[in-house]
Structure 1
Amino acid sequence: MALADREGLKALSMRRLGAELGVEAMTLYHHLPGKDALLDGLVERLLTRAAPAEFGGPSWRDDLRGYAGALTAALLAHPNLFPLVVTRPAITPGNLRAMEDALTSLGRAGFPPGTALDILYSVIGFVVGHVAAQVASGRGEEPDPALLSAGLTPGEFPLLSAAVAAGREPAARFGFALDAMLSGFETARRPGGA
């Protein structure tokens, strides 16, 4: 992870990793069957760092809000690894365990398993889209300077000008959209929980 963070994914080869660890590349094959397993392990490490061992906060909404925030932070902390998250399936033992734990918690909150999985995928997809825009722009959580300096005139673009002048930061927009999603999910709950 440190090598990819420092030098990018192109630098990540078994030979380069072996040199980084002070061993021959062939030694790594005693621990990993190949580079695909290494890449899958990186995705697992990144995603499981964000996943709580078990939800259990005051409410399922707080749990999902916390997970979305932790996943966003984890992905933004490793922008060089982000392409792996969107191109490799996250089907590893650690990721499957984290998903099972999340589904268990959502089940206790009254969501049927299929609905709980839809909710989890929706939150993950929302976070990945949000992070993709930030990683692509290299801005992190800063407002879009192109929009701010686009020469908006209130006469031509009155609503857009007013919205930009209001100065809502990306984090606030993220929170607004996430809360709207969570409110929508409420309609899929069974009365009284599982």
Structure 2
Amino acid sequence: MARGLSRDVVLDAALRLIDEHGAAGLSMRKLGAELGVEAMTLYYYVPNKAALLDGVVERIFGMVAAELPPADVPWETYLRELAGGLRRVLLGHPAAVALTATRPVITPAGLAALETALEVLTGAGMPVTTALHVFNTVSTFVLGHVLNETGQQPVGDFPDLSAFPLISRAVAEGAGNGDDEARFDLAIDALVRGFGGKVE
């Protein structure tokens, strides 16, 4: 065990490296150098690189959980805050979005965050299997939306839309021009209202 190191310190440093170099640029050797220790020292805190990556996903969801309201708020409020919080955290760590989308939440801290969300939803009368589907649906939507927001933006002139009057009108009225948050809120609102039909 190295002085001043902890699992949280290691995971936070790993997330910083992912922010700077992407998930593909993260290695135990680079992480050790970042923390001023030999790579082998890190195995005291994480048994392997897979566990390190799982821990980074845990940190992402931990940051979201820290922003959430208490579990006794209406489930609709909780779900909207969960979605919005996940989007905000991921937009702050865009290089970690793909990692978060492809690794399951399996660490104790990550599972604790999921458990709380399920408590809120089942407490409102939602069957537990439905509650898990709702959580996964919202998480998947947010991840996809943020991947789109942080992806490569098209370059060049916009095509001639004179033959497409409705598209042209939508563009003229500002649709598609920096309206990611409005589109996100619209979709989350529709999802939450739809999930209301699953409350018994």
TM-score, structure 1 length as denominator? Answer: 0.86
Residue 118 of structure 1: CA displacement?
Answer: 1.1
Q: 1:170 aligns with which of 174, 180, 195?
A: 180
- Distance across 1 between alignment mates of 2:122 and 2:155: 42
- Distance across 2 between alignment mates of 1:10 and 1:173: 30
1:20 maps to which residue?
34
Residue 11 of structure 1: CA displacement?
Answer: 2.7
Deviations 1:72-95 (A, max 9, x none): 011111111112112212211111
Residue 132 of structure 1: CA displacement?
Answer: 1.2
Q: 2:72 aligns with which of 36, 40, 56?
A: 56
Residue 63 of structure 1: CA displacement?
Answer: 1.1
Residue 150 of structure 1: CA displacement?
Answer: 2.5
1:157 maps to which residue?
164
- Distance across 2 between alignment mates of 1:167 and 1:62: 29
Report the residue type matching 2:160 in the other structure: G
- Distance across 2 between alignment mates of 1:45 and 1:70: 13
Report the residue type matching 2:159 in the other structure: A
Q: 2:108 aligns with which of 75, 90, 93?
A: 93
Answer yes or no: is the 8 Å Cα contact 1:55–1:105 preserved in 2.
yes
Deviations 1:114-139 (A, max 9, x none): 111111111111101101111222x6
Residue 53 of structure 1: CA displacement?
Answer: 7.4
Residue 145 of structure 1: CA displacement?
Answer: 7.0
Q: How does 1:73-152 map to 2 (within 5 A)?
A: 73-137=88-152, 149-152=158-161
Q: 1:5 aligns with which of 19, 23, 28?
A: 19
Answer yes or no: is the 8 Å Cα contact 1:4–1:80 preserved in 2.
yes
The unaligned stretches of length 5 or more in structure 2 are: 1-14
Q: Secondary structure at the match of 2:44?
A: coil
- Distance across 2 between alignment mates of 1:15 and 1:149: 45
Answer yes or no: is the 8 Å Cα contact 2:149–2:180 preserved in 1.
no
Q: Answer yes or no: is 1:182 the counterpart of 2:192.
A: yes
Deviations 1:38-78 (A, max 9, x none): 11100110122113374333x21111111111100111111
- Distance across 2 between alignment mates of 1:40 and 1:3: 15
Q: 1:29 aligns with which of 43, 57, 63?
A: 43
The unaligned stretches of length 5 or more in structure 1 are: none
TM-score, structure 2 length as denominator? Answer: 0.84
